[in-house]
Structure 1
């Protein structure tokens, strides 16, 4: 982990220390012994470099309200081993706040009422991030660090700090799951979260067909539905997908594009992936499946909770999905029948048969965390964040507590058998009792945690191994315009238009109708200012490449 240098306060502090040392030396030259005072100075300097949470743990405990902008998050604080341990070591108790219903409405209401909780965690791409910063509603983390806890500079990644530092020289947010180009280049065990999954027993029963071509894919889905119309009395869902939302559906857009190796740029220009010929060709395959009744209504209307329930029942034949979000369901399937689990196989490919482009998370990570200026204990909040980002904090959130959840064997941590068995079979009970394995994922560092990785269960081993294939870094293409700007509004409108267009394309009654819907999308998008937006995105990615050191 790197340290960010050059902050004014820290330079001033260094000058003061040098001045003090010079003064001490001068006094010694006048016949006094400076050794004792120099020793005290060294003690003070060492104390300043200690994590602030070690000091605050001796003070009165505080409770911080932490808003998590995901309605599905439901792991409480204070009941399991990990949260109790963290509170004991930091003196901080957490009161989680999550939205009921629409996340955007809840967060916008908190911003409008100037009632943001102490800590806020949300997706890095959400426009409310820049809105909170521009409205001066959140602290600059670097200023809190310089004033209260310089340990921040020891536990943050220099590339991530540089990336998130704004034009005013401040950093207001810090990511979880952040991966840099350097991480990808230096680590063979980094994974992509995107895979093409099939239910093992059904896939093998239909002859383990090649599903990389439109013809092979179509035939496999049709055959699976004919041979297995029901799963335990419930209809088979031939093609599964992530939920549809106001941005589209990642299974049918981004994941499919990546599987087809659709590029993010061409000839130095930001590329329009949404109208790529290969992508359109495959969307028409899904359209045809829909026309013939193989796209179940469920996938268009189900919430994430409903989808996860059906995953646990093994009701999907195939799906492009993020494997890490279905590991609990995978373990349930394995416990019931080891052959009913999902496995990763080669999925849709372009006509040239190119390998997929499967991105990792980027330097942006998945979510970012900020400290609200409503926080009455900002010094405790920054120290608490630093605890979670430190190697010690990461070890606690990932492994739990030595002697209770794991033991050291030959210098490596190994989960206790009963703990691992529970983790592999009943995640809900595991979280309630232990709360490790990143149940509190808000500041997880996946690269750091690789050093403690455990042997995977038989249910998940194949998925984890497959996830290392076809890895690419694409963080230079992450583009978010400042909230409230004309560009942000245009981008939002076009994204919303796509979210309405995608299901219409999949449900079109013919290829001719599909073409008309697509052409209407293009025309409306052009009227909204699409060409100008693409120019600005191109300028942004060139800037990002420089910032990340990408040729």
Structure 2
């Protein structure tokens, strides 16, 4: 059976993913080859339930495998910093983290084949097809615990610390949940009617914008004219030519975000799934970039820029407009701010030619990474209680903010403020001894954000994404259903996965061609692309995705998802 599952891992690894994840920092692991109702009371109550996870006997040591070569424990080392010491004190568990030397799944495959799965495993979330199929197969063949059974047998109190809507979303066909995500947004942690900031965002340099007279940039024509004016009138910054429009690495994400500004629907009036590329508003977004290209506002370099190059260009001050995810470029914007406090980015509201409001995807979702427990675990009760404490309010606050009186103080309004000791450590870049946020594998930011104090630091306000994007929250909505909930047991799964990869690769090359083709040839080239997609079997993929879309809406308890239909 283990050889069979190992084959599944290898087969899944052959399917190229269409999305990419996030990155980590320096490694101390083992590498092979709006407001909460009463946050202060919530924390006090959790201190009682969270401590129930502590083991009463001798210390237990477990292995926790993280299937990401770039993931790291960013503290001093487990057992050497404040965070890990708090974990061991509360749970009696010492963790030995293991990460692979590469992302080819070779180490995980070997562990499966040799029946040597570690106690806990963390892999990419369901958005990654490889991980989705792997975890489904592991659950189906009884290699991992369902958390329903783990809780019932070893830790009933965990039921008080899970977020039920997130837990139910991850249920398999048997009704049981085998994975717990990090960075998921539960309705339990959101205020009624709360709108979160978007993921992607169009931002412009405020000082350069004011230098050209602060023109209207809400229309496609006005936006491009303003960028051209910066190019022709401002021309340079610190002796370097201005880059009027900078796209994200790979370009594709920028197209998706721009299409959201152009209000491209993903659901029709009857509640069926719509494929973005064939929608009129998506076509207009492509045509917008085509015109920008021929106006000299974007260049061929955008199609080869890496994340590092984009960071470098933003930090240099050359970029006027960026169609990116600001959270990925905070460090670059802060470097620029240090050199020139007037060089700050602000959001702009760009609308399509019909004047429709943007419909942006917010930052919520049901997680980034997913964690499961192996049936090989020698100490399942200790593992269950460790996970329970990490999920608890006490554990979330401890792993995010540290220890009260040492790294933070709790204010009367329930907000957390860092101590002078920790502020000095941050200023001196000497925070590893505390290890705050190093344990992010079960982080629930939707909960811990309620404890964050509003910054008064102008640099933070000007450069941190949550502040920059705040004005765009009014246009930002829950797109969870658009992410689909596909049935891994569907007999069409393998065929549709291969077709999805094929279509994704075609789109990548075609989008580059559509952006650079002559304006006169755009219409015919676009129609050729649509015809080619249809010839590849797009109708089958749409039908398959529609089933996943309906499943997602059913799981969410909604009939409609496209925000304009909900108003």
TM-score (norm 1): 0.79
Partner of 1:349: 351
Partner of 1:273: 276
| CA distance in 2 between partners of 1:485 and 1:355 (Å) | 38
1:231/1:367 CA distance change after superposition, 3 Å:
farther
Partner of 1:166: 172
Task: Answer whether contact 1:334 1:459 (CA < 8 A) is retained.
Answer: yes
1:394/1:196 CA distance change after superposition, 3 Å:
same
**Pick from 201, 204, 210: which aligns with 2:207?**
201
Task: Answer whether contact 1:214 1:285 (CA < 8 A) is retained.
Answer: yes
1:52/1:507 CA distance change after superposition, 3 Å:
farther
Partner of 2:391: 389
Is 1:522 matched with 2:530? yes
1:381/1:550 CA distance change after superposition, 3 Å:
same
How much is the aligned-residue C-alpha RMSD, in angstroms? 3.1
Alignment of 1:213-252 (within 5 A): 213-244=219-250, 249-252=252-255
Task: Answer whether contact 1:238 1:296 (CA < 8 A) is retained.
Answer: no
How far the C-alpha of 1:258 sits from its partner, in A, is 1.5
Q: Secondary structure at the match of 1:524?
A: helix
Partner of 1:444: 443
How far the C-alpha of 1:549 sits from its partner, in A, is 1.8
Alignment of 1:395-544 (within 5 A): 395-410=397-412, 412=414, 413-417=416-420, 419-420=422-423, 429=429, 432-436=432-436, 438-456=437-455, 457-461=457-461, 462-463=467-468, 465-479=470-484, 481-482=486-487, 485-508=494-517, 510-544=518-552
How far the C-alpha of 1:155 sits from its partner, in A, is 1.0
Is 1:311 matched with 2:314? yes
| CA distance in 2 between partners of 1:536 and 1:331 (Å) | 44
Partner of 1:107: 105
The structure whose Rg is larger is 1
| CA distance in 1 between partners of 2:479 and 2:128 (Å) | 18
1:440/1:523 CA distance change after superposition, 3 Å:
farther
Deviates more, 1:201-210 or 1:79-88: 79-88
Q: Secondary structure at the match of 1:506?
A: helix
Superimposed CA distance per residue, residues 97-123 of structure 1 (whole angstroms, 9 cap, x where no aligned partner): 2665xx4xx236634763765421313
Alignment of 1:116-131 (within 5 A): 118-131=120-133
Deviates more, 1:448-457 or 1:324-333: 324-333
**Pick from 286, 290, 297: which aligns with 1:294?**
297
Superimposed CA distance per residue, residues 56-96 of structure 1 (whole angstroms, 9 cap, x where no aligned partner): 6x532424233253747673543654344334433223425
| CA distance in 1 between partners of 2:472 and 2:431 (Å) | 24
Task: Answer whether contact 1:131 1:482 (CA < 8 A) is retained.
Answer: no
1:312/1:95 CA distance change after superposition, 3 Å:
farther
Partner of 1:82: 83
Alignment of 1:357-372 (within 5 A): 357-372=359-374
1:306/1:163 CA distance change after superposition, 3 Å:
same
Partner of 1:45: none
| CA distance in 2 between partners of 1:375 and 1:210 (Å) | 61
| CA distance in 2 between partners of 1:463 and 1:470 (Å) | 14
Superimposed CA distance per residue, residues 335-385 of structure 1 (whole angstroms, 9 cap, x where no aligned partner): 332211222222x21223222222224452333223345655554444333
**Structure 1: unaligned runs, 5 residues or longer:** 1-47
How far the C-alpha of 1:54 sits from its partner, in A, is 0.7
Task: Answer whether contact 2:196 2:477 (CA < 8 A) is retained.
Answer: no
1:198/1:430 CA distance change after superposition, 3 Å:
farther
| CA distance in 2 between partners of 1:70 and 1:500 (Å) | 28
How far the C-alpha of 1:181 sits from its partner, in A, is 5.6
TM-score (norm 2): 0.77
Task: Answer whether contact 1:240 1:299 (CA < 8 A) is retained.
Answer: yes
Task: Answer whether contact 1:176 1:365 (CA < 8 A) is retained.
Answer: yes
| CA distance in 2 between partners of 1:527 and 1:367 (Å) | 35
Task: Answer whether contact 1:330 1:460 (CA < 8 A) is retained.
Answer: no
1:541/1:199 CA distance change after superposition, 3 Å:
same
Q: Secondary structure at the match of 1:212?
A: coil
Q: Secondary structure at the match of 2:313?
A: helix
| CA distance in 2 between partners of 1:193 and 1:162 (Å) | 24
Task: Answer whether contact 2:360 2:475 (CA < 8 A) is retained.
Answer: yes
| CA distance in 2 between partners of 1:234 and 1:88 (Å) | 55
How far the C-alpha of 1:156 sits from its partner, in A, is 0.7
1:61/1:230 CA distance change after superposition, 3 Å:
farther
1:431/1:212 CA distance change after superposition, 3 Å:
farther
Partner of 2:66: 67
| CA distance in 2 between partners of 1:285 and 1:369 (Å) | 41
Superimposed CA distance per residue, residues 248-285 of structure 1 (whole angstroms, 9 cap, x where no aligned partner): 621112x1121112221012221122222222223222
Superimposed CA distance per residue, residues 131-183 of structure 1 (whole angstroms, 9 cap, x where no aligned partner): 22333254322222223322321111111111111111221212222224676
| CA distance in 1 between partners of 2:81 and 2:209 (Å) | 39
1:74/1:388 CA distance change after superposition, 3 Å:
closer
Task: Answer whether contact 2:51 2:90 (CA < 8 A) is retained.
Answer: no
| CA distance in 2 between partners of 1:184 and 1:261 (Å) | 25
| CA distance in 2 between partners of 1:98 and 1:207 (Å) | 53
Task: Answer whether contact 2:212 2:230 (CA < 8 A) is retained.
Answer: yes
| CA distance in 2 between partners of 1:445 and 1:279 (Å) | 34
How far the C-alpha of 1:512 sits from its partner, in A, is 4.0
Q: Secondary structure at the match of 2:321?
A: strand
Task: Answer whether contact 1:197 1:319 (CA < 8 A) is retained.
Answer: yes
